Structure 1
């Protein structure tokens, strides 16, 4: 029996799905922590530190949010690179590489001198490091999600996929908590001078997690089975080609390997509609999320003159309140379907954004600001909880990492990448939060229509590698 056939025939080892789900949560949490602390720093620190002192405050804030957007521009690029890598050599290796990149880039931000020391080189290096962050997070999501979903029981993919999604509120809480601790324990001048760097330097822990995953975890059951099937098919094709053309078996195998197409090109050719609609589905969850955790911080401190610690506590508590919604709604989607749950979240988010959100936020009252952001994040989580299963179930194992990552990251750049920048510009032009509310509603309606046009993926078996 050939090695490939043996691999196909060998029963898979028993999977500890709980351990894998927690690893997925840890990887996602720390990765998003790194990505999110940049947004908080862009709202509170970067306008003063990395740009010329004579810039008007509004211009400096726009410049800081522009560097924030660079990470989103890089995310689809990261999705393409890591998608190809993850579909070719494995989910685990792609995830480990993404975690290492993120940890080192974020640490680099924490070590970067400001404009007063380096001049224009300082914001240029900041943009470069943010771009590397974007590449890393573009590859991380697919790996973290697939480690859980491709090992999960078929009827629990939504629930276990939500563990990677829970990394988002966990990252928000961790990031804002460390900024709150720094703000409470050091004077404002010291915070601006050095304490803001501590959250970035702590990201070196991500390197340790990457090493743990590399040493302790196997690749997903779906990927290993798909690789075995593909290897058997290619071996049979090589034997047939060698017999027909008279070349050696090694030459035939090399010719077949050279003829294999890129997973990205394959998924673009086979599933263009699914990629486009997956991207559209994500713009609301991503865009409204960043408006609530990043733009709202800058809006509350700069326009409403709310103390920095108050709005950060609002974001932390609201994230804690919304986090349980992710596994609950994902569990519900395992039973009634992904589309209905997702569309309910998009519709409720649109209603919340169109009137209560800014009316509550504009009171500058802690309880009402908490209600505004908690309500928005709860409806956001209703969409986001089942999104991992919805997106990955659209694509076959052969190019699932590529397809899901591409749809997710294109949606991220269209939804969240420019959201704080657009909101800042809208408010600066119209001088009313109503303009931002209309923008948020448009994002929600875009996702509602996109998911309506998608086929239901709930209950669909994962297809084999060559399916």
Structure 2
């Protein structure tokens, strides 16, 4: 079998494994968001809190997972850069599955009092650590196994796991919410968490059959791995880490569309409020739209000569579509809500498809896992985790959705500016090596030449009498 056929086969296998693994991880992460919006305020906090406060507190526990994500990026980035991508991804999958399963067994406030929200927060932190290490490794296992010039396209396999996992989580709660409300709050929601154990088994079977990307195999053979990747990453690439984090707020609008919007749109104090199952159905339709259109973002970025132009035209429509989505929902008209949410989904999902591959190209292989994980998780900690709580506070304080709509549009502005800066620094032609990849090839050529020179000297010495 030719090398090109072998490469294509490894790339497909890595892409599929990346997709399945991230689907499972994101399912576990998103069911927490759905449960925070719908039931955690009732189950894990006192019943006598003012309206909306229990939901706000449950969003704060959700934020704890985002705060923990940079720690996961540092810890698992270290092991991923030093010992390999595959082993690290197996550990993140097990950690996420165990934490989610235990949430499904956790007693509520009425049973164990204050220990309930404390333990819930601790389990959310474990989830955050797991997903903090998962994302970077999944992007890399796909992009580093890709044929030359197709790393952004193959990195989209990992990104596709997000809408799929979100769709599975939304679908699970869509059907579970059809139960009578007392039964749903008492035990129905727990089924979604307990079922995650089955998905973890499937993910492990697939991941254990993976091959380590060749670039990582070569680094370990040459003993070219970095002793402490996080130190190396911050010392030499801190600017790229911060710019990468700044490029990612647009990715986090999904928490405005799902977690916050679900709580807001199903709040019975509104005369236009939607039923829980009805609105979850709207969210599910938007996720189907995301699943369908998202890969086209990676395709466009891979085929357009200048990725800066592609990013500009992908992101700009979100400036308008995200605010319009909230006003469409507020009409109480289901069809307008579906149209508004589906339209707002297109720009940020296409952006999400390509941003993982763009970030992966920015860092050298020896700190790549750590670098892209830190960028993603720093943004997640500061933006994603805060988004539902911030949006809820904005709405509660002003009694109008306008500040939340402006918040969503501002994420797009920040992401556009930082992504254009990132591409300017790292290279904007997807089919060509990035600046980091060019530097690596020069370094490898110099090391090879030095090895050959030393080998020649050894042969010379051996030939002397």
TM-score by length of 2: 0.88
CA distance in structure 2 between the partners assigned to 1:322 and 1:224 by the alignment: 35
Q: Call closer, same or farther: CA 1:156–1:379 in 2, change over 3 Å.
A: same
> In the alignment, what sits opposite 1:190?
183
Deviations 1:337-373 (A, max 9, x none): 443333333321112124x222211111111111111
User: Given the alignment, which residue of 146, 156, 167 partners 2:150?
Assistant: 156
> In the alignment, what sits opposite 1:217?
210
**Matched-pair contact (CA < 8 Å) for 1:99–1:206:** no
User: Given the alignment, which residue of 48, 51, 56 partners 2:45?
Assistant: 51
- Pairing 1:351–2:351 present: no
Choose 325-334 or 341-350, whichever is displaced more.
Answer: 341-350
> In the alignment, what sits opposite 1:384?
352
> In the alignment, what sits opposite 1:38?
32
- Pairing 1:274–2:240 present: yes
> In the alignment, what sits opposite 2:250?
284
Q: How does 1:155-304 map to 2 (within 5 A)?
A: 155-184=149-178, 186-213=179-206, 215-230=208-223, 261-286=227-252, 288-302=253-267, 303=270, 304=272
**Matched-pair contact (CA < 8 Å) for 1:162–1:330:** yes
> In the alignment, what sits opposite 1:339?
308
**Matched-pair contact (CA < 8 Å) for 1:34–1:203:** yes
Shift, 1:452, TM fit: 1.9
**Matched-pair contact (CA < 8 Å) for 2:82–2:227:** no
**Matched-pair contact (CA < 8 Å) for 1:149–1:161:** yes
User: Given the alignment, which residue of 69, 75, 82 partners 1:81?
Assistant: 75
**Matched-pair contact (CA < 8 Å) for 1:285–1:383:** yes
Length, aligned pairs only:
428
Q: How does 1:64-103 map to 2 (within 5 A)?
A: 64-103=58-97
CA distance in structure 2 between the partners assigned to 1:395 and 1:80 by the alignment: 15
Shift, 1:19, TM fit: 2.1
Deviations 1:69-128 (A, max 9, x none): 111001111001110010000000111100000000000100000000010000000000
> In the alignment, what sits opposite 1:452?
420
Shift, 1:155, TM fit: 1.8
- Pairing 1:412–2:390 present: no
**Matched-pair contact (CA < 8 Å) for 1:96–1:213:** no
> In the alignment, what sits opposite 1:147?
141
> In the alignment, what sits opposite 1:241?
none
Q: How does 1:6-17 map to 2 (within 5 A)?
A: 14=7, 15-17=9-11
CA distance in structure 2 between the partners assigned to 1:177 and 1:278 by the alignment: 32
CA distance in structure 2 between the partners assigned to 1:142 and 1:96 by the alignment: 13
- Pairing 1:129–2:94 present: no
**Matched-pair contact (CA < 8 Å) for 1:341–1:382:** no
CA distance in structure 1 between the partners assigned to 2:234 and 2:307 by the alignment: 23
Shift, 1:12, TM fit: 11
Which stretches in structure 2 are left out of the alignment for 5+ residues? 445-465
CA distance in structure 1 between the partners assigned to 2:77 and 2:303 by the alignment: 29
CA distance in structure 1 between the partners assigned to 2:390 and 2:311 by the alignment: 25
**Matched-pair contact (CA < 8 Å) for 1:349–1:379:** yes
> In the alignment, what sits opposite 1:21?
15
Q: In angstroms, what is the RMSD of aligned CA positions? A: 1.9
SS in 2 for 1:170: helix
CA distance in structure 2 between the partners assigned to 1:210 and 1:321 by the alignment: 25
Shift, 1:326, TM fit: 1.8
**Matched-pair contact (CA < 8 Å) for 2:32–2:62:** yes
